[in-house]
Structure 1
Amino acid sequence: MHADTRPHPVIGLYVRAATLEAAEQIALVVWRCALNDLHWLRAWTLLRAEVPLIPIDADWPL
């Protein structure tokens, strides 16, 4: 979590998915699950779920 970023905090996580759209959906599901367990997050509103494309090295275990 990057709480000092402006204008909004950023929560980062690593997601492996077949497509960018699938990765963004997974990030959204993770956020919703976090809201159920971490009630203090409910003070925040998810503005967007974006996933940058990071190339995976051929030696990275699948």
Structure 2
Amino acid sequence: MLDHKLWAQRIQVTYSLSQQIRKRRRDLAMKLSLNKRRKSKKKINGDLLWLKPLSQ
């Protein structure tokens, strides 16, 4: 039988991780849509540089 405390902890960790990822994705989507509205190439390039560490 599984240790309930351990199991609950694992679920908590996975849940909080997925929440963080979802939040980051939403922030990125907002950033990208702002960039599209502005259509400033310099800003988009800066954001792409900022995105690279995340994707690696």
**What band does the TM-score fall into relative to the shorter chain?**
0.3 to 0.5
TM (normalized to structure 1)? 0.40
TM (normalized to structure 2)? 0.43
Of structures 1 and 2, the larger Rg is shown by 2
Q: Which has the higher helix share?
A: 2
Higher relative contact order (CA 8 A, sep 6+): 1
